[in-house]
Amino acid sequence: MITRTRFYSIYEDKLAYLRSNTTETIKNDFVAFIARKMLKKEEVIEYIKFILELVGAGANLTQVVDALDETIVESYPKSYQKILLKVFYKNVRDRFKQSKNADIFDALKPYLNDKEQMIFKAAPTPLEGLKVIYDSSQQDGKLRKTIIGAAVMPFVYFLIIIGLVNGTQEPIIGKFTALLDKLGANAGYSMQTVDTFNRFIIETQVFMLPFVIFLVALYAYLIPNLSGAPRNLIEKVFLIGLPFKMSRDINAGLFLTSLALLYRNGINTKKALGIIEKSSTPFMKHHINQMLEVHSHTGSDRKAIQNDLFPTDINHMLSIFFRVADPTKHMEEISKNIIEKIETKVRAISIAINTTGSVALALYLVGLVLAMMELQGAVNS
């Protein structure tokens, strides 16, 4: 909820922005705002990759920004080709040239999220900042692809079963059940079971889509926001708590990856926690604030990082490294090991989901075959 004071503060900030910037700057900022909403994040990361590779090959930033803008137009000369990319590349070029001292951060700032902006500001050089952002995006993307694959499969199997139910009930099960009634024969157990299951699915499927949408929306809201005792409780509930538990593991892995990347740039634990906290979800803020509070009371990096965000085995590993090694030098290795553990766990869950879905589909098909065999026997007799 926006209070009156907050409203006036926003209004004054916007008014000051309009007064202190040129029409050209305001126009470029507006274009950047629209482009960011429509542009895929992968396109921004690819742009950053181009910068890193070309500068690494000896070009300077001005040459790179100019070349990227000019080449996209040359490669896709027709007005309807790569419209968003052309707008993005041109906007970055314009912002770069208008910035003080040709600042690539100012040029890319509208296209970076809060976490990326914090990393950029904390990095010793712009190129180091871009390298950290690129590495972070690669780690994030790899883990998220694994979890998305695991999350989508139950819906795929469910849709296949619904399709089979609708495809077999009327043309097969319904007609043959009616035929048995005419012949005065009784449907067998398998036929009755399949018929009852099919009718239930068909009669309730109209409510399933709204229910699934509601369920997805509820999870989408609760997973990044729910924390503390309610979160711990719901994670223990069989199946229902699985998405919450998987999200916790993923956030733990991404947190350690971000911490490692910030350590690489010479940022201490307390400052790194502050940087990560500013761009985190409410769930992660809850845990990072706990870490910051412990750090402020004890001054110990090891005790601060020991948090129930991580399972016992991960906390044990972190405790060992913080006791006997410099975590600022070894956190990348630690985070890599932990990410691998999390990926292994997510893959195991994905395999379990696929196995369960395959078994459910196989059971339905077996039931259908048995029903047909019973039907054939009833007709022959």
Q: How does pLDDT run across 266-285, given as a tens digit for each residue? A: 788 888 888 888 778 899 99
pTM for the structure as a whole: 0.64
Q: In this predicted structure, what is the pLDDT of residue 77?
A: 87
Run of H or E residues at 124: none
Predicted pLDDT of residue 213:
83
Q: What is the pLDDT of residue 1?
A: 44
Identify the three-state secondary structure at position 239.
coil
What tokens appear for 30 in the block? 């507006």
Q: According to the model, what pLDDT value does residue 134 have?
A: 83
Q: What is the pLDDT of residue 2?
A: 46
* Nearest of 253, 293, 251 to residue 273 by alpha carbon: 293
| 162 half-sphere exposure, CB direction, 13 A CA radius | 15
Q: How large a percentage of the chain has pLDDT more than 70?
A: 84
pLDDT in tens, the chain (381 residues): 445 565 556 666 666 666 766 777 777 677 777 777 777 888 888 999 999 999 888 888 889 999 999 998 899 888 888 888 888 888 889 888 888 777 888 888 888 877 777 777 767 778 888 887 887 777 666 666 766 666 677 778 888 888 888 887 777 777 777 766 666 666 667 777 877 888 888 888 788 778 878 888 898 889 889 998 999 899 888 778 878 887 888 788 778 877 877 787 778 888 888 888 877 889 999 999 999 999 999 988 888 888 888 888 788 878 887 777 666 666 777 777 777 777 777 777 777 777 887 888 888 888 877 877 776 666 666
Of 163, 173, 200, the residue nearest 374 (C-alpha): 173
The pLDDT value recorded for residue 293 is 93
Give the Cβ contact number of residue 144 at 10 Å: 12
Helix, strand and coil in the chain, % to nearest 5:
85, 0, 15
CB-based contacts of 100, cutoff 8 Å, min separation 6: 106
Start-to-end CA distance of the chain, whole Å, equals 73
**In the chain, where the domains are located:** 8-111, 113-381
Q: How far, in whole angstroms, is CA 324 from its chain's centroid?
A: 34
Quote the pLDDT of residue 13: 63
Q: How far apart are CA 358 and CA 337, in angstroms?
A: 31
Look-up of token digits 């926001």: 225
Q: In this structure, what token pair is assigned to residue 61?
A: 């930033």
Quote the pLDDT of residue 31. Answer: 72
Q: How far apart are CA 33 and CA 47, in angstroms?
A: 17
